[in-house]
């Protein structure tokens, strides 16, 4: 095992990839490599967050992300409390600041927040004294997803610089896409976006990405194909006519994947809609990194928690 | 409280500016029984013996502002704003006539409610309050309100305030019917279906913030529809607020075709743009949304050339309950009565609009639109006047503003120009210092 990294993360919160420098991102990825090793041992415990309290505050249901943050915290020795307020009868927005103040009074060290509204995590971060991690806010950002994707790519391709990454699907409503665009570009990748025009956000070309509506062209020569989840409420006529039509033109199947490089790798942030944005044989095929992404998710969250904990008072 | 002072008042040592002619002269104004009796360079200290004198210390003396669009919470939402609190904000901002919007609770769609508001204003307001009554019952956009009776009760215009009338047939009939009474129909031009879930201007910046956007076409399509309906009906029409460049082409074409239309813009859309939203600042969530800088500049130019007729404050008090939420969930709107003129002076300072034109778009033009005599520097005109020091520097402090709600987009902004004195119907209702 290599010597533990002495990386110092220069921010109190992790609210988004925007604003992070390349060394910030690479430092987190390096730290996560250590976490991967820890997670693969029988003894998975570290003590860097011992005595610390971590609250997972989820205004939106997410079994996977919440479990990932919970495991990450526990492996670092933190006391982890899960608060799921997604089903609270109180109007969601009204409780946000009150909830933040209440939790803050319990003196947590780190709060992990997911919220259905863009900017909600920023709002909350301004009201508390502890560190805040954005676990997804509306269609804005989902920084740990982008970091775990970068880690997965780097481990499999040995680099990110110079790779061509095609992000396909519901870009308009995707925080994963936004965080990934910024993260991958920061690390030197070429980013392509592909979506039906109804699911492509306005002005996205200003990110310096290539924009496609024809998936085969978007995948031509790509090193990485990153699929996005299509939410059920967008499937039936509002943004795309039907699941069938969407899958036909924008679902990743063997035929479309054949346009990418032969060694192209397939990713998906999960949970997948098999037969909607991705065919089962591709999702489970040899080129798929989807399960590895989940493992890297825990590692990257350990890295983020550790990096933020190093900056905590008496840390 | 807006009763007339008995003794004549002589305002002296002022720079008199007539926004309509742009003529400026040193001198004074003689006021009695709520009316401008005389004005000019011959009125100096001691020239009218029986008058009470007020020295204006060399300030600009101009007609008070007329704000065509202010939301006041009375009746029904007094926690947001009362007629009294709105009038204090107005007086401090140099607004001597406020046109209250009908979106109250109950809606001002009934002659009795118009009567109530006017009586209540007479008892509690420092400035003139006039009413724009509902165009449709409940502002629901379905059935026409009693336009004639509302006018008889004192309403000066009909509008559904911040609600668009989606049904073209309803709009057509309202425009046709309102002609009988020569009532201006004021419309919030936004297609709610195109607005959809949108909360800010559609484009790169909304995409970066992960917020759903409102396309400019949401405004332009509604405006174009309305122009067709005006052509069909000949009704007098005013677009409450336009916000994007494309809308200006529509307005220009309609005016060139001689249609009886006018258009307004809010002070916010003249002085701010979508970038000011920054990190999800909810006080900058407006309807229509703040647009790009190129749109803002186009609006400013359109006001300067007179294509846009009036500037409004779009004063919309929202308290912490409706603003301390996430950007998508919070209510749109910003207060503006008290800062409208000072913010507008930024445009004068930048050389984009002349001072007379700015003042005209905030006084004479809106007054004429709703048939009011005020807003003019003329003998016999109502003595609604303000003394303005256009260079006086000040910093906006939200907490110090007079509105009940503090949702100003100009918090901590450095502004130049302050209203030193406000006179309503011959009575001084506000003095600074």
Closest CA relative to residue B36, chosen from B13, B59, B64: B64
- Residue A286 has phi, psi (to 5 degrees) of -65, -25
Of the partner residues A141, A203, A206, the one whose CB lies closest to the CB of residue B210? A141
Q: Do A202 and B203 touch (CB under 8 A)?
A: yes
Q: Report the interhelical angle of A22-40 vs A63-75 (nearest 10°).
A: 80
Of the partner residues A118, A178, A206, the one whose CB lies closest to the CB of residue B328? A118
3-state secondary structure at position A65: helix
Would the pLDDT of A263 be above 50? yes
Sequence-distant (6+) residues with CB within 8 A of A117 are: A93, A137, A138, B326, B327, B328, B329
Q: Do B326 and A120 touch (CB under 8 A)?
A: yes
Chain A: give the shortest CA distance to residue B406, in Å. Answer: 18
3-state secondary structure at position B213: strand
Q: What distance in Å separates the CA atoms of residue A20 and residue A30, rounded to the nearest whole number? A: 15
Closest CA relative to residue B354, chosen from B44, B62, B26, B6: B62
**Tokens in use for A92?**
């969601």
Q: Which residues pair with B155 in a beta bridge?
A: B131
- Give the residue from chain B lying closest to A95, CA to CA: B325
**Does the bond joining A130 to the residue before it have cis omega, within 30 degrees of 0?**
no
| Residue whose token pair is 């859309």 | B269
Widest Cα–Cα separation across chain B: 67
Per-residue confidence band for A68, with pLDDT thresholds at 50, 70 and 90: very high
Sequence-distant (6+) residues with CB within 8 A of A42 are: none
* % of chain A surpassing 70 pLDDT: 95
Q: Do A201 and B206 touch (CB under 8 A)?
A: yes
Q: Is A77 on the interface with B (CB under 8 A)?
A: no
Q: Do A140 and B321 touch (CB under 8 A)?
A: no
User: Which value does ipTM take for this structure?
Assistant: 0.92
Question: pLDDT (tens digit, 0 to 9) for every residue of chain B, 433 residues total?
Answer: 444 457 899 999 999 999 999 999 999 999 999 999 999 999 999 999 999 999 999 999 999 999 999 999 999 999 999 999 999 999 999 999 999 999 999 999 999 999 999 999 999 999 999 999 999 999 999 999 999 999 999 999 999 999 999 999 999 999 999 999 999 999 999 999 999 999 999 999 999 999 999 999 999 999 999 999 999 999 999 999 999 999 999 999 999 999 999 999 999 999 999 999 999 999 999 999 999 999 999 999 999 999 999 999 999 999 988 998 899 999 999 999 999 999 999 999 999 999 999 999 999 999 999 999 999 999 999 999 999 999 999 999 999 999 999 999 999 999 999 999 999 999 999 999 7
Q: What distance in Å separates the CA atoms of residue B144 and residue B233, rounded to the nearest whole number? A: 15
Q: Is B293 on the interface with A (CB under 8 A)?
A: no
Residue B334: alpha-carbon gap to chain centroid = 12
**Does the bond joining A271 to the residue before it have cis omega, within 30 degrees of 0?**
yes
State how far the alpha carbon of B109 is from the alpha carbons of A178, A237, B134, B177, B180, in Å: 47, 38, 5, 16, 18
Q: What is the per-residue pLDDT for B321? A: 87
| Eight-class DSSP state of B289 | P
Would the pLDDT of A240 be above 80? yes
**Tokens in use for A116?**
């259905």
Chain B: give the shortest CA distance to residue A201, in Å. Answer: 6
Counting DSSP H helices and E strands in chain A, the numbers are: 11, 9
Q: Is B294 on the interface with A (CB under 8 A)?
A: no
Instruction: Note the pLDDT tens digit of each residue in A191-224.
Output: 999 999 999 999 999 999 999 999 999 999 999 9
Instruction: Note the pLDDT tens digit of each residue in A113-171.
Output: 999 999 999 999 999 999 999 999 999 999 999 999 999 999 999 999 999 999 999 99
Q: What is the per-residue pLDDT for B2? A: 41
Q: Is A19 on the interface with B (CB under 8 A)?
A: no
Q: What is the per-residue pLDDT for B1? A: 40
Q: Do B326 and A204 touch (CB under 8 A)?
A: no
Q: Is B396 on the interface with A (CB under 8 A)?
A: no
Q: Is B212 on the interface with A (CB under 8 A)?
A: yes
Q: What distance in Å separates the CA atoms of residue B341 and residue B359, rounded to the nearest whole number? A: 8
Q: What distance in Å separates the CA atoms of residue B91 and residue B125, rounded to the nearest whole number? A: 10
- Give the residue from chain B lying closest to A15, CA to CA: B279
| Cα-based angle B350, B356, B360 (whole degrees, multiple of 5) | 115
HEC sequence for A71-102: HHHHHCCCEEEEEECCCCCCCHHHHHHHHHHH
Q: Do B321 and A94 touch (CB under 8 A)?
A: yes
| Cα-based angle B31, B32, B35 (whole degrees, multiple of 5) | 70
Best residue in B207, B211, B289, B320 to probe A by mutation, most A CBs within 10 Å?
B207
Sequence spans of domains, chain B = 63-369
Closest CA relative to residue B29, chosen from B12, B45, B46, B15: B12
| Eight-class DSSP state of A105 | H
Would the pLDDT of A87 be above 80? no
| Cα-based angle B236, B237, B238 (whole degrees, multiple of 5) | 135
DSSP codes, B123-165: HH-SSEEEEEEESBGGG-SSSB--HHHHHHTTEEEEE-TT---
Across the range A276-282, mean pLDDT stands at: 97
* Known catalytic residue at B18: no
Q: Is B211 on the interface with A (CB under 8 A)?
A: yes
Q: Do A93 and B203 touch (CB under 8 A)?
A: no
**Tokens in use for A187?**
């690390």
Q: What distance in Å separates the CA atoms of residue B174 and residue B145, rounded to the nearest whole number? A: 9
Burial of A82 (0-12, 13-18, 19+ CB in 10 A): middle
* Sequence-ordered strand ranges (E) for chain A: 53-58, 79-84, 110-115, 131-137, 164-168, 190-194, 210-212, 224-227, 265-267
Cβ pair B340, B95 in contact under 8 A: yes
Sequence-distant (6+) residues with CB within 8 A of A74 are: A80
Q: What distance in Å separates the CA atoms of residue A298 and residue A144, rounded to the nearest whole number? A: 10
**Does the bond joining B238 to the residue before it have cis omega, within 30 degrees of 0?**
no
Residue A40: alpha-carbon gap to chain centroid = 21
**Tokens in use for A5?**
């990294």
Catalytic residue among B109, B226, B314, B384: B314
Q: What distance in Å separates the CA atoms of residue A133 and residue A58, rounded to the nearest whole number? A: 12
Topology of domain B63-369, per CATH?
TIM Barrel (3.20.20)
Among A1-10, A32-41, A119-128, B363-372, the minimum mean pLDDT is found in A1-10
Q: What is the per-residue pLDDT for A94? A: 52
Q: Is B392 on the interface with A (CB under 8 A)?
A: no
Q: Which residues of B touch A202 (CB under 8 A)?
A: 202-204, 206-207, 213, 215
Q: Which residues of B touch A120 (CB under 8 A)?
A: 326
Q: Is B326 on the interface with A (CB under 8 A)?
A: yes
């Amino acid at each position: 095992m290599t010597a533990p990294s002495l990386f110092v993360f220069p921010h109190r919160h992790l609210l988004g990839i925007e604003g992070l420098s390349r060394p910030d991102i690479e430092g987190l990825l390096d730290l996560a490599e250590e976490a991967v090793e820890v997670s693969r041992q029988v003894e998975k415990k570290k003590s860097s967050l011992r005595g610390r309290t971590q609250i997972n505050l989820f205004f939106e249901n997410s079994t996977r992300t919440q479990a990932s943050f919970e495991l990450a915290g526990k492996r670092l020795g933190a006391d982890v409390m899960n608060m799921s307020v997604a089903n609270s009868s109180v109007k969601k927005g009204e409780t946000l600041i009150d909830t933040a103040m209440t939790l803050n009074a319990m003196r947590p060290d780190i709060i992990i927040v997911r919220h259905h509204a863009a900017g909600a995590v920023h709002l909350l971060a301004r009201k508390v004294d502890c560190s805040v991690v954005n676990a997804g806010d509306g269609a804005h950002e989902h920084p740990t997803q982008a970091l775990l994707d970068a880690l997965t790519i780097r481990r499999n391709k040995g680099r990110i610089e110079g790779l061509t990454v095609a992000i396909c699907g519901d870009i308009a409503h995707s925080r994963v896409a936004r965080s990934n665009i910024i993260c991958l570009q920061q690390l030197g990748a070429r980013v392509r976006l592909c979506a039906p025009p109804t699911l492509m956000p306005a002005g996205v070309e200003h990110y310096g990405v290539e924009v496609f509506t024809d998936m085969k062209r978007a995948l031509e020569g790509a090193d990485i194909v990153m699929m996005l989840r299509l939410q059920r409420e967008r499937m039936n006529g509002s943004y795309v006519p039907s699941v069938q039509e969407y899958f036909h033109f924008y679902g990743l199947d063997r035929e479309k994947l054949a346009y990418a490089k032969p060694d192209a790798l397939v990713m998906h942030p999960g949970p997948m809609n098999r037969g909607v944005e991705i065919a089962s044989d591709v999702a489970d095929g040899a080129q798929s990194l989807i399960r590895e992404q989940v493992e890297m998710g825990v590692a990257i969250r350990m890295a983020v928690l550790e990096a933020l904990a190093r900056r905590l008072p008496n840390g | 409280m807006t009763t007339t002072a008995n003794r004549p008042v002589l305002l002296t040592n002022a720079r008199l500016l007539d926004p309509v002619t742009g003529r400026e002269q040193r001198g004074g104004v003689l006021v009695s029984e709520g009316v401008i009796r005389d004005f000019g360079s011959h009125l100096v200290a001691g020239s009218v013996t029986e008058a009470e004198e007020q020295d204006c210390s060399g300030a600009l003396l101009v007609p008070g502002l007329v704000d065509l669009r202010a939301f006041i919470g009375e009746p029904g939402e007094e926690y947001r704003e009362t007629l009294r609190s709105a009038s204090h904000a107005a007086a401090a901002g140099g607004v001597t006539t406020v046109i209250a919007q009908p979106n109250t609770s109950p809606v001002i769609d009934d002659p009795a409610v118009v009567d109530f508001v006017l009586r209540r204003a007479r008892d509690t307001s420092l400035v003139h309050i006039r009413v724009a009554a509902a165009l449709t019952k409940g502002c629901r956009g379905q059935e026409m309100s009693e336009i004639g009776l509302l006018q008889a009760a004192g309403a000066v215009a009909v509008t559904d305030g911040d609600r668009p009338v989606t049904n073209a047939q309803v709009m057509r009939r309202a425009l046709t019917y309102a002609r009988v009474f020569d009532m201006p129909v004021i419309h919030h031009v936004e297609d709610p279906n195109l607005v959809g879930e949108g909360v800010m201007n559609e484009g790169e910046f909304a995409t970066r913030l992960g917020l759903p956007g409102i396309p400019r076409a949401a405004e332009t399509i509604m405006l174009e529809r309305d122009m067709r309906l005006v052509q069909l009906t000949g009704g007098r029409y005013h677009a409450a607020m336009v916000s994007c460049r494309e809308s200006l082409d529509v307005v220009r074409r309609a005016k060139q075709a001689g249609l009886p239309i006018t258009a307004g813009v809010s002070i916010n859309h003249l002085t701010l743009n979508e970038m000011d939203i920054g990190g999800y600042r909810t006080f900058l969530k407006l309807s229509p949304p703040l647009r790009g800088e190129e749109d803002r500049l186009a609006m400013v130019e359109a006001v300067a050339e007179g294509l846009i007729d009036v500037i409004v404050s779009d004063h919309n008090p929202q308290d912490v309950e409706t603003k301390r939420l996430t950007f998508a969930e919070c209510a749109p709107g910003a207060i503006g009565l008290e800062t409208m003129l000072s913010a507008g002076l930024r445009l004068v300072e930048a050389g984009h609009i002349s001072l007379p034109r700015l003042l005209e778009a905030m006084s004479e033009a809106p007054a004429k639109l709703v048939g009011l005599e005020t807003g003019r520097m003329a003998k016999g005109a109502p003595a609604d006047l303000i003394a303005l020091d256009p260079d006086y520097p000040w910093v906006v402090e939200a907490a110090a503003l007079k509105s009940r709600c503090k949702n100003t987009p100009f918090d901590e902004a450095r502004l130049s120009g302050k209203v030193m004195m406000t006179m309503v119907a011959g009575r001084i209702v506000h003095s600074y210092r």
